[in-house]
Amino acid sequence: MIELRSLRQFLVLAEELHYGRAAERLHMTQPPLSLAIQKLEAQLGVALLERGRRVVALTPAGQALVEQGTRLMELATQLPQRVRAAASGEQGRLSLAFVSTVGYGEMPRWLRGFREQHPGVALNLLEATLDVQQQGFERGDLDAGFVIHAPDAVPPGFARLSIGMEPMVLAHAEDWGLGRRPALARLLAEPLVVFPREIAPSLFDALLGFYRAHGATPQIAQEANQMQTIVNLVSAGMGVAWVPRSVCALQRPGVRYLELAGDPPQSETSLIWKEPAAPVVSRFVDHVRAALAS
């Protein structure tokens, strides 16, 4: 392995092509410099310089070392700054997962702002349901994730920042024939398109609890993982679906969203991560927290 000190001495000599001037720049005498270059050549097993009485020139091997060595010295010079930036969360990689519903809200704006403020952080984004995210956390593939759940029912073992709660609304086909103000009992009797329990257990259980509280049993017609797929199935007449109100931004032809008066089911979105958090994760959490406050 080449020592940086030896490499720097060679690069200065390669610039000057004169031992005396190079030694002066390096604040050393000529004999030690000459010996250092000879040791470097012996270490590499190649001649780096062509030495004449009056001329010093680079060999092809010497020219190659100049090109590669210059980049290496630049990296070595930048290394302390990069290490400090990584320690402070200003540089690194953030692997972030999110459920599809968050994409209809403020998340795209938060990501754009974070990237503008922290250009040294590479974002790795993954759309994934809660069960997939939990597997990613267990493997160490994920740093943080946006998840949806019933109010105050975030999965155990995570630190979290609540993004907010919103009511669930009923998506139904435009030609479903429910009328302008259908009775709740009529709505709860309709076939239901819903997400599987394993991808959002607490929210699934909360929906079932809502039906039971009103003396009804959900008639599940079809399950689907993604909200966009659920809404598409609603448009095809497969049934009705409970979705977070933010999904109303997904305007699918043939689909209407009905907001219920009174006390409809509620959903909550949270940003979750494992403690102790890496500096880059703390930076992102602080960024989202500040965006929420503003």
Residues 261, 172, single domain; the answer is yes
Residue 131 pLDDT: 93
d(CA 132, CA 71): 41
Q: Output the pLDDT for position 158.
A: 94
- CA distance between the termini of the chain: 53
Q: Do residues 170 and 262 both lie within one domain?
A: yes
What is the pTM for the complete model shown? Answer: 0.71
76 and 9, same structural domain?
Answer: yes
For 12-38, what is each residue's pLDDT tens digit? 988 988 888 989 999 999 999 999 999
Domain annotation covers residue 261: yes
Beta-bridge partner residues of 144: 96, 273
86: pLDDT confidence band, cut at 50, 70 and 90? low
Domains of the chain: total? 3
Question: pLDDT at position 56, please?
Answer: 83
- Residue where one domain finishes, among candidates 65, 88, 111: 88
Range of the domain at 289: 102-157+269-293
CATH of the domain at 282: 3.40.190.10
Verify that 129 and 218 share a domain, yes or no.
no
Q: Are 55 and 16 in contact (CB under 8 A)?
A: no
What is the maximum span of the chain, computed from C-alpha positions, in angstroms?
103
Tell whether 273 and 152 lie within a shared domain: yes
